[in-house]
């Protein structure tokens, strides 16, 4: 941990207990994850469904109770805070959700939704100030103060996500956690919202934790990227080198699978199914080994540690 | 907007118009052909009418939405106003369809094998259902077929469920497969496997495939020909290689520009300003005019003619990006 760390996630774990086929299974959604988010950076978290990326965000925000580990912000472990102090901390760490349809209350005006956190914590000194700050937040996301009186059903998907961003930035947070913020949007709208996030980050000096399944989006917006597989971090690297020169075989597989708008890399025929193993089965060794072209005996017995292979690049693979 | 074909098309859609309550047009004069063994990628953003085009071809339009103009020919027979069972009775071939979310199409309380066999009994009364079901699971490359037949849908992964849906679709021995965003809900690594399967089945069974997607990357890698749809109409069609090398319509080019290119140094993405019009907002002129960087007065007046190029592309634009396009 360096001095510029805004959020220090240490050995965070979260397991869910699922009953399937008459047996209890433990699914380790977040399995001993450590990450340091630095001031002013965009840290991308990428992985496929079930890799633990949303569980990680929810555990950090205290929306679900972590089983172990620490989440340190401003010298305080957020996981030890009582409800009231945690709510206060959440003014400094705000979240943007995937589905702007589900995360806005249909009966509240846009202005009331944007002001909600401020109302709860009494940060507005007068109704004039409330109006001013709401208008300012709506201006910043490119909607304009006039949207305060509208209702969610009057807005397009892109406009709703801008409202979601406005409500996140209103209390002037230090860190914004965006969980799949553009995944429900059409590509032309997705580009607008990604540009908005990049611009706000610069203008407001935000730190951004950007979570997505889409590696090309993550690589575009992030300074550094952490790749998750089955609840563990398998690789962390600056975005460009990660994309051009992946070191973990799973990162490589992920990059190769991205459909590129380039007909010279055509899909020519069927390949046999190759999917992640069941989350109910606990594996010893490396979680990726069954799909890995580099696997050897050690992969079946020893779980690889995340180690620094060159400055700033971390990989958990015995053969990286 | 039809290209030249060496073989007769298996599915031919001519000037199709679909309207809500007979008034509000949601598909506006769409034409395309699909040859056997060919994948046509129909690409567009949400609400552009691509799913309604496919439902019209299937004869599955919701109540109050109907075909008000145009023809749909399957194997040369006009099926525009035929119910699905009438199509079978007239022997004009079959269209099968798969959707984005297989879980909503599969019955959660029936075993996979029973659901496949049900489709076989309906369409193929002369075969032994259990034998044919095994064969179909092998065709979609589901490993350990005998064991999977007794599984329930929730016990399978999303990728396996979509393979099961494809097996059920193949039970009627279709000449055309319509795939509506079949891999959108899947992870990228699994998506690639399912796309490879669709390519293989298209080739080996000589099926025509209408592949509907919002994802230009998927189209580039899978489709033989591409049709780009905007606000109910086709704006550009062409073979996949020339179309991606040099898109002609400003909307096609704009969509390609919006895709994040990790190798680019520009921190910002190109965008298309504004958003697509609702069906009731589309007037007589070009529906893309309000968002178009090349717009001129003529674009807002009257229908826009289709221009053809020697690369086989067709574009509905007064000012296509390649100036050589001729009317």
Q: What is the CATH number of the domain that holds A208?
A: 3.40.50.300
Q: How far is B80 from chain A (nearest CA, A)?
A: 31
Mutation for A interface: B141, B235, B269, most A CBs within 10 A = B269
Which residues in chain B are contacts of A272 at CB distance < 8 A?
A: 141, 143, 193
Q: Which residue has the higher pLDDT, A295 or A276?
A: A295
Alpha carbons B169 and B119: distance in angstroms, whole number: 8
Cβ(A126)–Cβ(A100) below 8 Å: no
Q: How many CB pairs under 8 A join A and B?
A: 141
Q: Look at residue B275 in the predicted model and tell me its pLDDT.
A: 86
| Euclidean distance between the first and the last CA atom of chain A, given in angstroms as a whole number | 24
Cβ(B97)–Cβ(B53) below 8 Å: no
Burial (CB count within 10 angstroms: exposed 0-12, middle 13-18, buried 19+), residue A149: exposed
Cβ(A306)–Cβ(A287) below 8 Å: no
Count of domains in chain A? Answer: 1
Mutation for B interface: A184, A186, A218, A281, most B CBs within 10 A = A186
pLDDT band at A31 (very low <50, low <70, confident <90, very high): very high
Q: How many CB atoms lie within 10 A of CB B138?
A: 12
Out of A158, A195, A261, the one facing B256 most closely (by C-beta) is: A261
Alpha carbons A215 and B127: distance in angstroms, whole number: 46
Out of B192, B268, B269, the one facing A267 most closely (by C-beta) is: B192
The alpha helices in chain B, defined as continuous H runs, are: 50-58, 84-89, 102-105, 112-123, 129-139, 145-148, 158-170, 188-205, 216-222, 240-245, 250-258
Which residues in chain B are contacts of A261 at CB distance < 8 A?
A: 216-217, 219-220, 244, 256, 259
Helix (H) or strand (E) holding A251: helix A249-257
Residues forming beta bridges with residue B230, ordered by sequence position: B233
Mutation for A interface: B258, B261, B293, B313, most A CBs within 10 A = B258
Question: Does the distance separating the beta carbons of A273 and B142 come in below 8 Å?
Answer: yes
Helix axes A249-257, B188-205, angle to 10 degrees: 50
Q: Look at residue B95 in the predicted model and tell me its pLDDT.
A: 93
Token pair, residue B241, equals 């290689």
Cβ(B39)–Cβ(B33) below 8 Å: no
Helix axes B129-139, B112-123, angle to 10 degrees: 110
Tell me the pLDDT of chain A averaged across its residues. Answer: 92
- Residue closest to B218 by CA, chosen among B191, B241, B251: B191
Is residue A116 pLDDT above 60, yes or no? yes
Alpha carbons B248 and B321: distance in angstroms, whole number: 5
A252 lies in a domain?
A: yes
Is residue A117 pLDDT above 60, yes or no? yes
Cβ(A279)–Cβ(A230) below 8 Å: yes
Helix axes B112-123, B158-170, angle to 10 degrees: 20
Question: Does the distance separating the beta carbons of B221 and A266 come in below 8 Å?
Answer: yes
- Locate the domains of chain B by residue range: 106-172
Question: Does the distance separating the beta carbons of A213 and B188 come in below 8 Å?
Answer: yes
Token pair, residue B201, equals 């089945």
Alpha carbons B240 and A125: distance in angstroms, whole number: 60
Question: Does the distance separating the beta carbons of A190 and B222 come in below 8 Å?
Answer: no
Helix axes A127-140, A187-204, angle to 10 degrees: 120
Cβ(B213)–Cβ(B219) below 8 Å: yes
- pLDDT tens digit sequence for A94-108: 999 987 778 899 999
Q: Strands A42-46 and A224-229: what pairing?
A: parallel
Which residues in chain A are contacts of B192 at CB distance < 8 A?
A: 257, 259, 267, 271
Alpha carbons A228 and A240: distance in angstroms, whole number: 17
Quote ipTM for the complex. Answer: 0.86
Is residue A182 pLDDT above 60, yes or no? yes
Q: Look at residue A50 in the predicted model and tell me its pLDDT.
A: 86
Cβ(B37)–Cβ(B203) below 8 Å: yes
Cβ(A238)–Cβ(A224) below 8 Å: yes
Is residue A191 pLDDT above 90, yes or no? yes
Residues forming beta bridges with residue B256, ordered by sequence position: none
Q: CA torsion sign, A237 to A243 to A249 to A251?
A: positive
Which residues in chain A are contacts of B271 at CB distance < 8 A?
A: 188, 191-192, 195
Range of A67's domain? 1-92+175-182+201-258+272-284
Residue B309 has, within 13 A of its CA and on its CB side, a CA count of 23
Q: Look at residue A270 in the predicted model and tell me its pLDDT.
A: 79
What is the separation of C-alpha A145 from the centre of its chain, rounded to a whole number of angstroms?
A: 29
Is residue A22 pLDDT above 90, yes or no? no
In the sheet with B24-34, reading across from the earlier edge strand, the strands are B24-34, B11-20, B65-74, B77-78
Question: Does the distance separating the beta carbons of B220 and A270 come in below 8 Å?
Answer: no
Question: Does the distance separating the beta carbons of B275 and A158 come in below 8 Å?
Answer: yes
Out of A192, A219, A267, the one facing B196 most closely (by C-beta) is: A267
Q: How many CB atoms lie within 10 A of CB A57?
A: 21
Cβ(A48)–Cβ(A81) below 8 Å: no
Query: SS3 for A200?
Result: helix
Backbone dihedral region for residue B47 (phi beyond 0: left; psi -120 to 50: alpha; all else: beta): left
Q: How many CB atoms lie within 10 A of CB B104?
A: 8
Cβ(A216)–Cβ(A240) below 8 Å: no
- pLDDT tens digit sequence for A223-270: 999 999 999 999 999 999 999 999 999 999 999 999 999 999 898 887
Alpha-carbon distances, residue B85 vs A40, B10, B71, B125 (angstroms): 62, 19, 18, 15
Which residues in chain B are contacts of A265 at CB distance < 8 A?
A: 221
Q: Which residues of chain B have pLDDT under 50?
A: 2-5, 324-327
């Amino acid at each position: 941990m360096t001095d510029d760390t805004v959020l220090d996630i240490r050995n965070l774990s979260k397991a869910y207990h699922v009953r399937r086929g008459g047996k209890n299974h433990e699914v380790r959604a977040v399995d001993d994850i450590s990450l340091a988010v630095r001031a002013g950076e965009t840290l991308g978290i990428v992985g496929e469904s079930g890799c633990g990326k949303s569980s990680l965000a929810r555990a950090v925000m205290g929306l679900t109770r972590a089983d172990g580990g620490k989440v340190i912000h401003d010298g305080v472990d957020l996981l030890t805070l009582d409800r009231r102090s945690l709510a206060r901390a959440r003014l400094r760490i705000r979240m943007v959700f995937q589905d702007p349809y589900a995360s806005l209350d249909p009966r509240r005006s846009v202005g009331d939704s944007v002001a909600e956190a401020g109302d709860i914590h009494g940060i507005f000194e007068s109704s004039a100030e409330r109006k001013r700050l709401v208008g300012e937040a709506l201006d910043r996301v490119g909607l304009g103060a006039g949207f305060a009186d509208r209702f969610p059903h009057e807005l397009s998907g892109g406009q709703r996500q801008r409202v979601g961003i406005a409500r996140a930035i209103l209390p002037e947070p230090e860190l914004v956690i965006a969980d799949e913020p553009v995944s429900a949007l059409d590509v032309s709208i997705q580009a607008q919202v990604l540009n908005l996030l990049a611009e706000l980050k610069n203008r407001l000096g935000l730190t951004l934790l950007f979570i997505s399944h889409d590696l090309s989006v993550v690589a575009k917006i992030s300074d550094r990227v952490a790749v998750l597989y089955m609840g563990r971090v398998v690789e962390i690297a600056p975005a460009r080198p990660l994309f051009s020169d992946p070191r973990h075989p799973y990162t490589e597989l992920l990059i190769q699978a991205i459909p590129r708008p380039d007909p010279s890399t055509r899909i020519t025929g069927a390949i046999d199914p190759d999917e992640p193993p069941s989350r109910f089965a606990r594996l010893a060794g490396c979680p990726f080994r069954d799909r890995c072209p580099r696997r050897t005996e050690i992969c079946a017995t020893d779980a690889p540690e995340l180690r620094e292979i060159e400055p700033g690049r971390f990989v958990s693979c015995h053969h990286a | 907007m039809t290209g030249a074909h060496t073989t007769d098309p298996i599915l031919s859609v001519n000037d199709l118009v679909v309207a809500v309550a007979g008034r509000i047009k949601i598909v506006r004069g769409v034409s395309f052909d699909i040859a056997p063994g060919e994948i046509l990628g129909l690409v567009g953003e949400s609400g552009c009418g691509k799913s309604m085009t496919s439902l019209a071809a299937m004869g599955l339009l919701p109540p109050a939405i109907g075909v008000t103009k145009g023809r749909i020919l399957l194997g040369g027979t006009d099926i525009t106003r035929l119910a699905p069972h009438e199509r079978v009775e007239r022997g004009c071939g079959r269209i099968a369809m798969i959707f984005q979310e297989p879980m909503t199409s599969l019955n959660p309380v029936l075993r996979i094998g029973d659901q496949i066999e049900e489709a076989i009994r309906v369409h193929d009364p002369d075969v032994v259902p259990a034998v044919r079901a095994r064969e179909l699971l092998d065709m979609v490359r589901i490993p350990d077929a005998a064991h999977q037949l007794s599984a329930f849908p929730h016990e399978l992964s999303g990728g396996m469920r979509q393979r099961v849906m494809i097996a059920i679709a193949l039970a009627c021995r279709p000449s055309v497969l319509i795939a509506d965003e079949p891999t959108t809900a899947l992870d990228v690594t699994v998506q690639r496997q399912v796309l490879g399967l669709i390519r293989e089945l298209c080739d080996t069974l000589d099926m025509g495939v209408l592949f509907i997607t919002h994802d230009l990357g998927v189209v580039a890698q899978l489709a033989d020909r591409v049709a780009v749809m905007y606000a109910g109409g086709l704006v550009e069609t062409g073979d996949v290689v020339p179309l991606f090398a040099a898109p002609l319509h400003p909307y096609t080019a704009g969509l390609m520009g919006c895709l994040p290119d990790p190798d680019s140094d520009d921190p910002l993405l190109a965008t298309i300003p504004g958003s697509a019009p609702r069906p009731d907002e589309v007037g007589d002129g070009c529906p893309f005019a309000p968002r178009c960087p090349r717009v001129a007065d003529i674009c807002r007046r009257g229908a826009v003619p289709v221009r053809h190029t020697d690369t086989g592309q067709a574009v509905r634009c007064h000012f296509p990006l390649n100036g050589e396009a001729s009317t």
